[in-house]
Amino acid sequence: MTAIAKSARFKRYKNLEFILGVLLTGGICLAVLFSDLLFPDGGDKINLMARLTAPFTDTAHILGTDPLGRDVLARVVMGGKISLQVGILSVAGAVVIGVIMGLVSGYYRGFWDMIVMRFADVQLALPFILLAITFIAIVGGGLTNMIILLIVSQWVQYARLVRGSVLSLRDREFIQSAQAIGVRDIHILLRHLLPNLIGPVIVLMTLNVANNILLESSLTFLGLGVDPLIPSWGGMLADGRTYLQNAWWVSVFPGLAILLTVLGLNLLGDWLRDSLDPTGRTSR
Amino acid sequence: MTEHAPILRIEDLSVEFGASRVIENLTLSVSPGKTTAIVGESGSGKSVTSLSVMRLAEMMGATYPSGKIIFEGSEGKTDLLALPQKKMRAIRGKDIAMIFQEPMTSLNPVFTIGDQIAESLILHEGMSKKDALKEGLRLLEMVRLPDAAQLLNRYPHQLSGGMRQRVMIAMALACRPKVLIADEPTTALDVTIQAQILTIIRDLQAELGMAVIFITHDMGVVAEVADDVMVMWKGKKVEEGPVKDLFANPKHPYTKTLLSAVPRLGAMAGEKFPKRFPVAVMDGDTPRIVGSEHIQNTAKYDAQPLLQVRDLVTRFDIKKGIFGGVTHRVHAVENVSFDIYRGETLALVGESGSGKSTIGRTIQQLQKATSGNITFDGRPFASMGKADQQRLRQEIQYIFQDPFASLDPRKKVGFSIAEPIHTHHLMDGTKQIKMRVDQLLERVGLTSAHADRYPHEFSGGQRQRICIARALASNPKLIIADEALSALDVSIQAQIINLFMELQEEHGLAYLFISHDMAVVEKMSHRVAVLYLGQVAELGSRQQVLENPSHPYTQRLLSAVPVADPTRNVNRTMLDGEIPSPVRRVGDEPAIVSYQEIAPGHLVANAV
């Protein structure tokens, strides 16, 4: 196989990756965004007559119903609201804080670095559940607090990752040559360091989105999260567990929603990472 | 050509990576007891040739559309290309051994030297561990490593680069191979150490009667070690012959341009000033002469010096122990003083650990000085505020050794060249800046279209041109070139030297030229400072230092440089010993040398 044909094939694959990623993520986001219009009753209407309808048997409930006769499709779309908010906002917040902390402590080293990293060590040593229970006990539950909790417990991962990359990059000659020219630190951090270390950060981000969607349901299960009556993918997954033997659809469809969202984000993240790297090689 | 039958014959070999053919119809024979040098520039296929002989090229995805590699082994003639990898494994290391360029990465850091030598002996010769270690000791003594018994228990990081390369040679020779392939074995080493290694390889070859394939880009090394030479260009053999004939009477135009580009130490004896020489450039298949001879009389000695360095000391603390106390210091620079005048090139030469780069980095404010005074353009460093320091970063520019590493891989080169202009607000308006970038690119021999490309899309020489354009962008007065030519092929190097000298004349630039390559230094510098262990051993005009070297270290350094002239009788006495380390215990200060002026402006350090 020639190198040119290989690279053309790689390019085609990249384009496919991008299109699929956009279709999946975009479709899910649109459905969730317009969920109030699509399902004015919010999927809360209980119809015990139609409880545990199998999917694809009733046009009113395409994806079937749950033990209380609520429409699974409506609940999956409505549940995306909470899940996507938690998944995306918590990761975004953690990335912003973690990347800034990592850049600063890796580039300047010294006292600030020591403080940040010892704090990070302590944070990593604290069991998450303990932190969660303490946090919610002090400030209370709810969506915002849960997102804050996830940011607080996860920024450390990004900070450590970014700091490690900065430590190896800052001794590279192109950083030194920028310093030699007199480029301001803020420009070195944002224009030279950040683009060169963003690849692994994007990978970690996409993985954490999925992780946090599931964490939300565990926290809700512990009574630490949002109102358990509001549907969310993780919550539906947990609820459907007891019916898995005879009504698989109750938990499989929210699970499928998580899978497709994460797959879409992964494809987009992969595409983004590769298109940010002008050398065109895949860095894994 | 030889009295022996060839031991290894490469016949009509072609190698392909994907669809690109990197070696085309190559034929070569190697005889026992002879050294065959394969010469060529990067990308000419010389390494792929050797990797094909070892059948290691396949692991990188090579295929062989045609050819045979006939090896006269212990079991008669075999075609190495037809052997399965399993049988090949028995030949590799036993009959054909290889030493690589980087002795640092070729040794496994977690095993002792003894274990690593013993490994191949146990594997190929079936020795017991005890016998293998005994044999290892003999091998280390054979490559003349002092304290061989001690070394067996040491780890690679405890050895210097030259010692590691000797260990690699000892390992390669462990099974008494019939063919030794040496792929740029001395390129990463200092000249005095290189001279040691070359002597060892030559002596051992005579002792063991093996054939050596010596791959190098350095014509000086070729002239010294080779019996026969094969010149490769773009994957093809363009010329081959005995070394003396080839140097005296090159036939192919490429060989001619290659030989004309090689700087020869001593070629400029009697010249007062550095000189630009016309360079032959391969234009397709025919050489084209670029530039003309021109005397570089640009230095302005009547004015105040541009840069004055007085008693500069730079040390690095080494913290050890639980409490992080300073136990040792690296005495990188000790009491160094020199001046640079406008339009002048001052060369700092020395081997690794001599502190030459640290001096450059201190002047560029990449490194803080421990003590001493530096004055630039009448302004002392000590009294400078933040704004003055920033202005200095515009007036002094630094060019690094590796042009690829010093360009941000994620930024287009246009951005990189414009960066100093933006940083120092030298110009306004996107259009003007773009025009300036285009103009700079054209000045260094590229085109404005190159501004939209990324660094990896350029060749090594082009990248160094980009780095020069970037340095020029801020209208500097002084450019510090830290081994800026070392990573380039000779023909490219000759062009860049001329570019440096043209720019010096156009802009009245001063250069601090940091280098270990004496031949290049001779070609382009006005004055030379020789550094040894952080102190200046000798300082004077180019003629004074190179034609009348008066410090023993300068003499030693000059005698170690391989000269691209095979008729010169190489009969140097074995230079023994390592370069001493600049690391010292706290309180153990090095003695500061005093100087004697043996001629106007020619300072020589007294023996301590």
Q: Could you tell me which of B416, B500, B429 has the C-alpha nearest to residue B466? A: B416
- Selecting from B364, B406, B419 the residue whose C-beta is nearest the C-beta of A183 gives B419
- What is the CB-side half-sphere exposure of residue B53 using CA atoms within 13 A? 31
Q: Could you tell me the pLDDT band of residue A45, with boundaries at 50, 70 and 90? A: confident
What percentage of chain A's residues is helix, strand, coil (to nearest 5)? 75, 0, 25
For residue A100, is pLDDT > 80?
Answer: yes
Q: Could you tell me the pLDDT band of residue B571, with boundaries at 50, 70 and 90? A: low
Residues A179, B366: C-beta atoms closer than 8 Å: yes
Report pLDDT for B473: 94
Q: Write the pLDDT tens digit of every residue in B4-36.
A: 688 999 999 999 888 888 898 999 999 998 999
Token pair belonging to B210: 């093996």
For residue B186, is pLDDT > 90?
Answer: no
Residues B420, A182: C-beta atoms closer than 8 Å: yes
Separation between Cα atoms, residue B358 and residue B353, nearest integer Å:
9
Nearest CA in chain A to B420: A181
Report pLDDT for B206: 87
Token pair belonging to B257: 């341009």
Whether residue B411 lies within 8 A of chain A, CB to CB, comes out as yes
For residue A246, is pLDDT > 90?
Answer: no
Q: Write the pLDDT tens digit of every residue in B435-491.
A: 999 999 999 989 999 999 999 888 888 999 999 999 999 999 999 999 888 888 888
**Cβ contacts (< 8 Å) between B409 and chain A: which residues?**
174, 196, 278-279
**Cβ contacts (< 8 Å) between A176 and chain B: which residues?**
366, 400, 406
Of A82-86, B98-102, B127-131, B375-379, minimum mean pLDDT range: B98-102
Separation between Cα atoms, residue B111 and residue A177, nearest integer Å:
37
**Cβ contacts (< 8 Å) between A177 and chain B: which residues?**
398, 400, 406-407, 467, 470
Residues A176, B400: C-beta atoms closer than 8 Å: yes
Report pLDDT for B418: 95
For residue B575, is pLDDT > 70?
Answer: no
- Selecting from A179, A182, A279 the residue whose C-beta is nearest the C-beta of B409 gives A279
For residue B1, is pLDDT > 50?
Answer: no
Q: Write the pLDDT tens digit of every residue in A149-163.
A: 999 999 999 999 999
Token pair belonging to B99: 């030493």
Token pair belonging to B231: 């010149």
| Residues 6+ positions from A134 with CB-CB distance below 8 Å | none
Report pLDDT for B491: 82
Whether residue B424 lies within 8 A of chain A, CB to CB, comes out as yes
Find the mean pLDDT for residues A7-18: 78
| Residues 6+ positions from A96 with CB-CB distance below 8 Å | none
Residues B19, A192: C-beta atoms closer than 8 Å: no
Residues A192, B411: C-beta atoms closer than 8 Å: yes
Contact A233, A79 (CB under 8 A): yes
Contact B506, B474 (CB under 8 A): no
SS3 A148: helix
Token pair belonging to A247: 């009504």
For residue B421, is pLDDT > 90?
Answer: yes
| CA–CA min distance A11, chain B (Å) | 18
For residue A2, is pLDDT > 60?
Answer: no
| CA–CA min distance A195, chain B (Å) | 7
Separation between Cα atoms, residue B45 and residue B48, nearest integer Å:
5
Q: Write the pLDDT tens digit of every residue in B102-147.
A: 766 778 888 899 998 888 788 888 889 999 999 999 989 888 888 8
Task: Bin B76: left if φ > 0, else alpha if -120 < ψ < 50, else beta.
Answer: left
Token pair belonging to B267: 């070629």
CATH 1.10.3470.10 fits B341-367+390-559, yes or no: no
Contact B145, B204 (CB under 8 A): no
Residues B409, A184: C-beta atoms closer than 8 Å: no
**Strand ranges, E, within B402-556:** 478-482, 510-515, 527-532, 535-541
Q: Could you tell me which of A117, A145, A143 has the C-alpha nearest to residue A131? A: A145
Report pLDDT for B321: 66
Report pLDDT for B544: 93
Separation between Cα atoms, residue B327 and residue A260, nearest integer Å:
59
What DSSP line would sit under A208-270, residue for residue? HHHHHHHHHHHHHHTT-SS-TTS--HHHHHHHHGGGTTT-THHHHHHHHHHHHHHHHHHHHHH
Residues B409, A278: C-beta atoms closer than 8 Å: yes
For residue B73, is pLDDT > 70?
Answer: yes
Residues A173, B420: C-beta atoms closer than 8 Å: no
**Cβ contacts (< 8 Å) between B364 and chain A: which residues?**
180
| CA–CA min distance B404, chain A (Å) | 8
Find the mean pLDDT for residues B494-499: 91
Q: Could you tell me the pLDDT band of residue A5, with boundaries at 50, 70 and 90? A: low
Token pair belonging to B606: 């007294």
Token pair belonging to A209: 């989105």
For residue B608, is pLDDT > 90?
Answer: no
Domain coordinates in residue numbering, chain B: 341-367+390-559
Whether residue A178 lies within 8 A of chain B, CB to CB, comes out as yes
For residue B428, is pLDDT > 60?
Answer: yes
Report pLDDT for B572: 60
Helix (H) or strand (E) holding B583: strand B583-585
Q: Which CATH architecture has domain A19-276?
A: Orthogonal Bundle (1.10)
For residue A42, is pLDDT > 90?
Answer: no
Separation between Cα atoms, residue B536 and residue B556, nearest integer Å:
15
Find the mean pLDDT for residues B544-549: 92
Rounded to 5 degrees, what are φ and ψ at B582?
Answer: -80, 5
Rounded to 5 degrees, what are φ and ψ at B149?
Answer: -60, -40
Separation between Cα atoms, residue B151 and residue B153, nearest integer Å:
5
Q: Could you tell me the pLDDT band of residue A283, with boundaries at 50, 70 and 90? A: very low
Q: Write the pLDDT tens digit of every residue in B272-322.
A: 888 888 888 877 777 888 888 888 888 889 989 999 999 999 998 887 766
Separation between Cα atoms, residue B473 and residue B441, nearest integer Å:
10
Task: Bin B271: left if φ > 0, else alpha if -120 < ψ < 50, else beta.
Answer: beta
Whether residue A118 lies within 8 A of chain B, CB to CB, comes out as no
Q: Could you tell me the pLDDT band of residue A44, with boundaries at 50, 70 and 90? A: confident
Report pLDDT for A40: 80
Q: Write the pLDDT tens digit of every residue in B324-341.
A: 678 888 889 999 999 999
What percentage of chain B's residues is helix, strand, coil (to nearest 5)? 35, 30, 35
Question: What share of chain B has pLDDT > 90, as a percent?
Answer: 40
Report pLDDT for B187: 80
Give me the total of CB pairs closer than 8 Å, taking one residue from chain A and one from chain B: 74
Whether residue A183 lies within 8 A of chain B, CB to CB, comes out as yes
**No. of helices (H) and no. of strands (E), chain A:** 12, 0
User: How open is the CA angle B69-B73-B79, to the nearest 5 degrees?
Assistant: 25
Q: Could you tell me which of B314, B324, B416 has the C-alpha nearest to residue B366? A: B314
Residue owning tokens 């975009």: A26
**Cβ contacts (< 8 Å) between A192 and chain B: which residues?**
408, 411
Report pLDDT for B74: 72
Report pLDDT for B40: 87
For residue B605, is pLDDT > 60?
Answer: yes
Residue owning tokens 């004896």: B269
**Cβ contacts (< 8 Å) between A185 and chain B: which residues?**
none
HEC string of B193-214 equals: HHHHHHHHHHHHHHHHCCEEEE
Of A164-173, B496-505, B583-592, minimum mean pLDDT range: B583-592
| CA–CA min distance B331, chain A (Å) | 21
Find the mean pLDDT for residues A19-30: 91
Nearest CA in chain B to A273: B410
Whether residue A173 lies within 8 A of chain B, CB to CB, comes out as yes
Whether residue B408 lies within 8 A of chain A, CB to CB, comes out as yes
Token pair belonging to B149: 């018994």
Q: Could you tell me which of B330, B332, B335 has the C-alpha nearest to residue B318? A: B330
For residue A273, is pLDDT > 90?
Answer: no
Q: Which residues pair with B541 in a beta bridge?
A: B527
For residue B88, is pLDDT > 60?
Answer: yes
User: What is the residue-averaged pLDDT of chain A?
Assistant: 86
Of B53-57, B234-238, B299-303, B564-568, minimum mean pLDDT range: B564-568
| CA–CA min distance A5, chain B (Å) | 10
Residues A174, B408: C-beta atoms closer than 8 Å: yes
Q: Write the pLDDT tens digit of every residue in B215-258.
A: 998 888 899 889 999 999 888 999 999 999 999 999 998 888 88
**Cβ contacts (< 8 Å) between A278 and chain B: which residues?**
409-410, 412, 454, 456
